[in-house]
Structure 1
Amino acid sequence: MRVSFFSAQKYDQRFFDAANQHFGFSLDYQEAGLSATTARLAEGADAVCAFVNDTLDAECLQELKQLGIRFIALRCAGFNQVDLHEAKQLGLQVVRVPAYSPEAVAEHTLALILTLNRHTHRAFNRVRENNFQLNGLLGFNLHGRKVGLVGTGQIGLAVARILKGFGCELLGYDPHPNPEFLELGGRYTSLDQLYAASDVISLHCPLTPENHHLINGHALSRMKKGVMLVNTSRGGLVDTSAAIAALKSGRLGYLALDVYEQEGDVFFRDCSDEIPSDDLLSRLMTFPNVLVTGHQGFFTEEALTQIAEVTLDNLEQLRQGQEPVNELTHQLED
């Protein structure tokens, strides 16, 4: 089986080549993102491997079908970038990596919280200039604070375990309550109750049409003044314009983002020599109480190893004519 990778970076090739020693696929890597205009780069392949910011809409899927592509392997958990109904109509099987080292994203979440709270990024720059003043670096104890987790699946639960060690009070919201969250001492509430009570709110849910811009002006208005908001899940969960307004008013005291709703144009690229074209992202960067990282929550040795192994195992099951447990299209109702 020949697999054509899109949005491929050098680290993708390193980890997938290592995992492929057990499978023997023919792997082709290209930096271009997958869309209707680039789909032809997969000509001659049996499958494509796509990432979070690739666009697999109906037009792209139709183009892939015409090229003879049979399988689509997502090397990520999210699948909001794929028109699954169109894929099923075309007979394209879509698989994903539903979970990979949840501790990787959870630990990055805590890194963002601690960095933003204790201003270690600003302190680092100050000290390098021989400025040892503490003015502007005041933080707060996490111990005893209420932390609201929107989503208590594997990643949300991993975050909860760490925060439990810090002595935080855990609040959760999830349409599908997790007994393990309750065993940790967590308490489920409504979203409005979580917004109103939490000192820190962290998002750990998939992006769906129903929760797009879950964090909007109304939601922000229900939060404590000075709340810290952290998003390491999907950019579209946060209305960036509303967040900027809340930062300006002081409703949002801190904002940490590892994802951004328009990240497809800039993340995973070196844009340092380009004139910024995203006014909202540029505006975010001007706030001293905003911390942005470039979708690196997943970026650990363990997570990348697991992503590669699960992705190729999904494709091996498809090659053998099996029905992978991680297939998305067969789960759709006719």
Structure 2
Amino acid sequence: MIYHEPSLTAPTDPATHTVTSPTTGITVYGCAPDEKRIFDSLAPAHGVSLTMTIEPVTEDNAGLARGNRCISVSHKTPISNATLLALHKVGIRYISTRSIGFNHIDVDFAASIGITVGNVSYSADSVADYTLMLMLMAVRQAKATIRRTDAHDYRPGATRGRELRDLTVGVVGTGRIGAAVIDRLRGFGCDVLAHDVRPRPAADGVEHVTLDTLVERSDIVTLHAPLTGESHHLLDRRRIGRMRPGAYVVNTGRGALIETPALVEALEDERLSGAALDVIEGEEGIFYADLRGREVPNGWLARLQEMPNVLVSPHIAYFTDHALMDTVENSIVNCREFESR
């Protein structure tokens, strides 16, 4: 399904409701129907004209952006350097990715050919709420309980759950999302450790420590760092080996923050009690696809999903109506601000 035609809604002045001429043309790639509705509803107030397609941006459809200097893209599909070259050839000079992370775009290569890449901020509460849900489900063994109940086995498990107030939670990455997670953890009365490569103001009741100290002292390690060359496999085999026996890992950041084979081995050896993962290394082309009745083309993911103590969800911590509105509006604003420079 492709919406090739520009948005048919004429821009209006939000104060007077009079029609104005659009000042910015934006081609929106990877635009799902719910996103399209928001783009259409916001375009008049922001004075933009839109060309939208549900397809991700590729070399073959870069021509849809011809005549515009700005595009908005989804985070769901990697953008190749060849695609960036094709976009530059048709006149694109700015890419707004509807995500916080940039790991699906070679930002340095884009800059080298004259394309600026910008990200968006959106409701940190969306991911923070989801993170706390995953923590609670992990320490209360929700997956195993639901599996038994679905099989009409209503007996409690052999091992009792744990309460957050009795645990130490280590938060890796204290940006907007990590800080929102810390705010929520305060309400549970647990001890909180934090680590970030950039010094940040210390929060009340939060001890800032090195990453090695954090993994050694935490019952739960939750990851909220961006994926960069330096943070790739931040939780590697060595650090996983230094985690407390019986600890849990929660990841709503990016899959490659964890060295997946090492995590799988620690879970299978029962050195760790469980994991809750909204992102997986090698998820590209798997998450957001309907693979029912087909073999999952990622052996590590398949092994993780078989474990009763591992929760896996398909990169949807951000997936709320509030975050969607933020994402779309900020993507439009980014493009308008670029054009106004």
Match of 2:37 in 1: 14
Which of 25-34 and 199-208 deviates more? 25-34
Separation of aligned partners in 1, 2:253 and 2:145: 27
Aligned to 2:177: 155
Specify which of 234, 249, 259 is matched with residue 269 of structure 2: 249
Q: Once the two structures are superposed, what CA deviation does each residue of 1:42-77 show, in whole Å capped at 9, x if it has no partner?
A: 445432211223323432211111122222111111
Q: Name structure 1 gaps, 5 residues minimum.
A: 323-334
**Pair 1:68-2:88 in alignment:** no
Aligned pairs for 1:111-126 within 5 A: 111-126=133-148
* TM-score, normalised via structure 2 length: 0.87
Matched, 1:50 2:70: no
Which of 284, 289, 301 is 2:321 aligned to? 301
Q: State TM-score, norm by structure 1.
A: 0.88
Does the 8 A contact of 2:279 with 2:315 survive in 1?
A: yes
Aligned match for 1:142, one of 137, 161, 164:
164
8 Å Cα contact 1:207/1:236 also seen in 2 = yes
Q: Distance in 2 between matches of 1:79 and 1:72?
A: 11
Structure 2 residue corresponding to 1:285, chosen from 298, 305, 311 = 305
Of 230, 253, 259, 1:239 maps to 259
CA deviation map 1:243-265 (0-9, x unaligned): 11111111221111111121221
Partner of 2:281: 261
State the 1:176 CA deviation: 1.8
* Letter of the structure 2 residue corresponding to residue 263 of structure 1: E
Gap change, CA 1:39 and 1:274, over 3 Å in 2? farther
Alignment counterpart, residue 200 of structure 2, candidates 178, 183, 193: 178
In structure 2, how many angstroms separate the alpha carbons of the residues matched to 1:197 and 1:17?
49
Q: Indicate if the aligned counterparts of 2:73 and 2:96 stay in contact, CA closer than 8 A.
A: yes
Aligned match for 2:118, one of 84, 95, 102? 95
> Using the alignment, how far apart are the partners of 1:178 and 1:190 within structure 2?
13
Shift of 1:80: 2.3
Task: Label 1:42 to 1:239 Cα distance change in 2 as closer, same or farther (>3 A).
Answer: farther
Cα pair 1:71 1:94 within 8 Å, conserved: yes
Structure 2 distance, partners of 1:229, 1:290, is 9
Aligned length: 318
Report SS of the residue matched to 1:265.
coil
Judged with a 3 Å threshold, the aligned counterparts in structure 2 of structure 1 residues 27 and 252 are, in CA distance, closer, same or farther, namely farther
Deviation at 1:274, TM superposition (A): 3.0
Residues 202-240 of structure 1: CA deviation (Å, up to 9, x unaligned): 001101101101112111001011110000011111121
1:86 to 102, 109, 115: 109
C-alpha distance 239-30 of structure 1, shift in aligned 2 (>3 A): farther
Structure 1 pair 38–199 and aligned structure 2 pair: CA distance change class (3 A) = farther
Query: 1:145 touches 1:168 (CA, 8 Å); kept in 2?
Result: yes
Aligned to 1:33: 56
The corresponding residue for 1:318 is 338
Among 25, 36, 57, the residue aligned to 1:2: 25
SS of 2:338's partner is: helix
User: Within 2, Cα distance between the matches of 1:2 and 1:240?
Assistant: 42
Q: In the alignment, residue 206 of structure 2 is paired with which amino acid?
A: G
The structure showing larger relative contact order (alpha-carbon pairs under 8 Å, at least 6 residues apart) is: 1
C-alpha deviation, 1:316, in angstroms: 1.2
